[in-house]
Amino acid sequence: MTSAAICNALKDVKDESKLNGLRAPIDELKRVLEDTRSCVVRARAHPPGFISKCKQVLTGVGKYDAEVQQLGARLDSAAQRFDIAINMQEIELLATLADWSQKQQQRLDEINRNARLDRLRQLLQPLHDARFDAEAAPRPCVKDTCTDALQRIDTWISSDAPSGFWLIGPLGAGKSTIARSVSDALSEKKRLLASFFVSVSHAESSDPKRIVHSLAFQMAQILPREFHDTLHDALQNQPDIVSRPVREQIRHLLASPLQAIPLMAFLTSFVVVLDGLDQC
């Protein structure tokens, strides 16, 4: 590597903090160049006179040859170390740029996802007050109560039993309280896909269409993009779908989007909690 090449390489390093990894090879280059200059100075320090100069030149070849070769080897080694340091800086820069690019892409994806969710929210108008964690939702079970029912439900969730679990009991038996406790536990485990609590004090919550719309929106917030995109396309291509019969809405807004998700995307099972359907 020539001195001009070294200077050009140094100019390419814009950030002074990035020079830390180059300081050792640069210092070594400086030492080699200084030793080379010293060798040249000593080689030129001959007594005056033509004959003596000729003799000194002839004998100097042998005297300084080994030192010059050693300096050349040191210079090559220092130049190689400098090249390696420069390459490491370039690799680090490329890694930094790749990381920055990935973060920017994730940010753009998040912005696009939020924009599409806002659009879905406008089209579906989900009932947020019917979620398990809404202010008007039932309170969970008191500690150390409802243990038998909660254990049975937990066993069902962890097993390969049929995909539906019906909790049946007389009015006031605490079914809603149990459903709330189950929802809380599933939410903590990141396994609650959606929830809907029908309430006699909230007339809209007993509308089956609003239940479908609310469940579809909650699922779109959690499930992979295939669900989100299929749901969005159904609403975009069929603007009147939200007013069609419930069975048809279930097919287009829930079943089809779920079927669009690859099976391998479900690394764990999710649960949907519905309470008070008998009041619809």
Kindly report, residue by residue over 67-111, the tens digit of the pLDDT.
667 767 776 777 777 777 777 777 887 888 888 888 888 888 888
Q: Which helix (H) or strand (E) holds 273?
A: strand 271-275
CB atoms near residue 128 (< 10 Å)? 13
Note down the domain range covering 10. 3-111
Measured CA distances, 146 to 86, 155, 174, 220 (Å):
67, 14, 9, 32
Residues 155 and 190 reside in one and the same domain: yes
50 lies in a domain? yes
Residues 169 and 265 reside in one and the same domain: yes
116 lies in a domain? no
117 lies in a domain? no
**Residue 59 in this model has a pLDDT that exceeds 60:** no
Q: How far apart are CA 73 and CA 85, in angstroms?
A: 18
Q: How far apart are CA 277 and CA 57, in angstroms?
A: 108
Residues 159 and 44 reside in one and the same domain: no
What φ, ψ does residue 232 adopt, rounded to 5°? -60, -45
Residues 259 and 177 reside in one and the same domain: yes
Residues 256 and 153 reside in one and the same domain: yes
242 lies in a domain? yes
**Residue 193 in this model has a pLDDT that exceeds 70:** yes
Measured CA distances, 83 to 9, 10, 22, 30, 77 (Å):
9, 11, 9, 15, 10
**Residue 22 in this model has a pLDDT that exceeds 90:** no
Residue 42 vs residue 74, higher pLDDT: 74
Q: How far apart are CA 153 and CA 175, in angstroms?
A: 12
CA nearest neighbour of 241 among 232, 233, 230, 252: 252
pTM: 0.65
Residues 212 and 147 reside in one and the same domain: yes
Residues 257 and 145 reside in one and the same domain: yes
220 lies in a domain? yes
Considering its fold, how many domains does the chain have in total? 2
Residues 156 and 83 reside in one and the same domain: no
Task: For tokens 């020079």, name the residue.
Answer: 19
